[in-house]
C-alpha cells in the first residue's frame, strides 16, 4: 500500500506561496503537501495523526508548541536570528530557494526513523541503463559519458552517475561549475544507504542529485574505497530503485573502476560503450580485459561493447 509523507505548511501571512507553487509544479512522488491558514484545522489534522512534518514560520513557534507530541517533525523557517542549538525545533533559513528548502526537508526526513513511508513502485516501466568504461586510463571516458548524458537530457529524463574513484567535476551548491570547489558525498552516501537504510534510498536520492547543465547528476564517492564495498546485491537494489521509484528514462553510468559489482552492472546495462584504443599500451590493456571476460564466462559483456571515437 502506498504511503506518502504528509507535510503540512502553516502560513497565516502568505509568504509560503512560492514554496507551495514549487511543490505543486514538481508533483512530488514522495510527499503530499497541505497548506493550513487556520490553527484549528491544523490541530484537527494533527489529532488524526495525519501529519508527518510541519513547516511553519518562527513567529508562530508559541502557537504550535502543543503539537509536538502529535507531529514527528516540526521545522521552522527562520530569518537567521535564532541559533539552531538553542531552538526546540529544526530551523531552516527562510531566504533560500524553494528547491533548497525542499531538499533540506527531505534530508531531515531521511535521517528521522520516526517517519516512515512506502514508496510507489512503477511496475512494468522500462528504462535504459547505459555504461561507459575503458580498461585503460586517459581515454576520455568521463568526457564521452557526460556528453552522452547531456545529449540524452534534451529528450529524456536523464541521470548521470559517476562511479569513478575520484570526483572529476567542480560543483557549486547550486550545481554550477566554476563557483568554487564544494564537497558532495554523492555515491558514498548512496552506498551507505544501500548498506544501512535500504528503505529510504529513493528518498535520499532526492537530496543527493545535483543539476549540471540541465542534467541530473550523482557525484563520485568521497573515498574511493567505498566503491569496493558494493556487491552485486547492492547494484541490483540501486537499479531497482532507479527503475521503479524514480522517473528517469535514461541513466548513464561512468564506470571508473573494476570489481565484481562493476561487472554485474555491465551485465545489466542495455548499452555499453568503450573509447577506441589508440596507443599500443591501450590496445594491450583492452586485449587483456577481453581475455578476462572470456575466461570468466562474460562473453555477453564482451560482445555488447561498442567502440566509439573520443576527441
Domain covering 128-308 assigned CATH 3.40.50.300 in the classification: yes
User: What backbone torsions phi and psi does residue 23 show, to the nearest 5 degrees?
Assistant: -65, -40
**Nearest Cα to 181, choosing from 191, 171, 173?**
171
pLDDT of residue 88: 81
Res 29: pLDDT:
61
According to DSSP, the β-strands at 210-212 and 215-218 are: antiparallel
Task: Please indicate whether the domains covering 5-111 and 128-308 agree at the CATH topology level.
Answer: yes
Q: Residue 41: enclosing H or E segment and its boundaries? A: helix 39-47
Grid cell listed for 305: 561493447
User: What's the angle, vertex CA 252, arms to CA 210 and CA 31, rounded to 5?
Assistant: 45
Main-chain phi, psi angles of 270, to 5 degrees: -80, -20
Q: Among residues 265, 263, 259, which one has the least CA distance to residue 225? A: 259
Residues 6+ apart with CB under 8 A from 104: 92
Domain ranges of the chain: 5-111, 128-308
What is the spatial distance between Cα 260 and Cα 135, in angstroms, rounded to a whole number?
14
Cell of 20: 507551495
Q: Which residues pair with 275 in a beta bridge?
A: 308
Q: What is the separation of C-alpha 287 from the centre of its chain, rounded to a whole number of angstroms?
A: 36
Distances from the Cα of 296 to the Cαs of 120, 218, 256, 269, 306, in angstroms?
37, 30, 20, 18, 20
Q: Across-strand partners of 131?
A: 253, 272
Neighbours of 309 (CB within 10 A): 9
DSSP codes of every residue in 276-298: PP-SHHHHHHHHHHHHHHHHTT-
**Burial state string for 22-55 with b = 16 or more CB within 10 A and e = fewer than 16:** bbeeeebbbbebebbeebeebeebbeeeebbbbb
Reduce the DSSP state of residue 150 to 3 states and report it. helix
Q: What is the pTM of this model?
A: 0.78
Could you report how far apart the first and last alpha carbons of the chain are, in Å? 50
Which SS3 state, helix, strand or coil, does residue 31 take? Answer: strand
Residue 173 has a pLDDT of 47
Handedness of CA 150, 154, 155, 161 (dihedral sign): positive
Intervals of the chain under pLDDT 70: 1-3, 25-30, 81-87, 117-125, 170-184
pLDDT of residue 9: 92
Q: What nine digits make up the cell of 65?
A: 508548541
3-class DSSP state of 25: helix
H or E element, residue 238: helix 232-245
What is the tens place of the pLDDT at every residue in 192-246?
A: 999 987 777 888 888 888 887 778 999 999 999 999 999 999 999 999 999 988 8
Whether the CB-CB separation of 10 and 38 falls below 8 Å is answered with no
Q: Is the CATH number of domain 5-111 3.40.109.10?
A: no
Query: What does the DSSP 8-state code read for residue 159?
Result: E
Whole-number Å distance between alpha carbons of 178 and 146: 17
pLDDT at 111: 80
Amino acid at each position: 500500500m502506498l504511503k506518502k509523507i504528509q507535510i503540512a505548511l502553516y502560513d497565516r501571512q502568505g509568504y509560503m506561496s512560492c514554496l507551495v507553487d514549487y511543490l505543486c509544479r514538481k508533483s512530488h512522488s514522495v510527499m503530499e503537501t497541505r497548506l493550513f491558514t487556520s490553527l484549528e484545522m491544523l490541530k484537527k489534522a494533527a489529532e488524526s495523526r495525519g501529519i508527518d512534518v510541519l513547516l511553519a514560520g518562527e513567529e508562530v513557534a508559541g502557537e504550535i508548541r502543543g503539537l509536538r507530541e502529535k507531529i514527528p517533525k516540526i521545522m521552522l523557517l527562520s530569518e537567521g536570528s535564532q541559533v539552531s542549538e538553542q531552538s526546540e525545533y529544526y530551523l531552516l533559513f527562510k531566504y533560500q530557494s524553494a528547491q533548497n528548502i525542499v531538499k533540506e526537508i527531505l534530508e531531515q526526513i531521511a535521517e528521522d526513523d520516526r517517519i516512515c513511508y512506502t514508496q510507489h513502485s512503477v511496475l512494468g516501466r522500462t528504462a535504459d541503463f547505459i555504461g561507459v568504461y575503458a580498461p585503460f586510463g586517459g581515454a576520455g571516458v568521463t568526457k564521452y559519458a557526460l556528453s552522452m548524458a547531456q545529449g540524452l537530457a534534451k529528450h529524456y529524463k536523464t541521470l548521470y552517475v559517476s562511479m569513478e574513484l575520484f570526483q572529476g567535476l567542480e560543483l557549486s551548491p547550486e550545481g554550477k561549475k566554476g563557483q568554487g570547489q564544494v564537497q558532495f558525498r554523492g555515491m558514498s552516501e548512496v552506498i551507505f544507504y544501500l548498506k544501512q537504510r535500504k528503505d529510504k534510498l529513493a528518498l535520499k536520492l532526492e537530496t543527493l542529485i545535483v543539476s549540471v547543465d540541465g542534467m541530473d547528476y550523482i557525484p563520485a564517492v568521497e573515498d574511493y574505497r567505498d566503491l569496493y564495498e558494493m556487491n552485486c546485491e547492492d547494484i541490483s537494489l540501486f537499479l531497482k530503485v532507479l527503475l521503479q521509484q524514480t522517473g528517469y528514462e535514461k541513466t548513464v553510468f561512468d564506470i571508473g573502476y573494476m570489481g565484481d559489482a562493476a561487472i554485474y552492472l555491465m551485465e545489466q546495462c542495455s548499452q555499453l560503450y568503450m573509447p577506441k584504443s589508440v596507443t599500443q599500451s591501450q590496445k594491450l590493456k583492452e586485449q587483456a580485459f577481453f581475455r578476462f571476460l572470456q575466461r570468466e564466462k562474460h562473453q555477453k559483456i564482451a560482445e555488447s561493447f561498442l567502440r566509439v571515437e573520443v576527441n
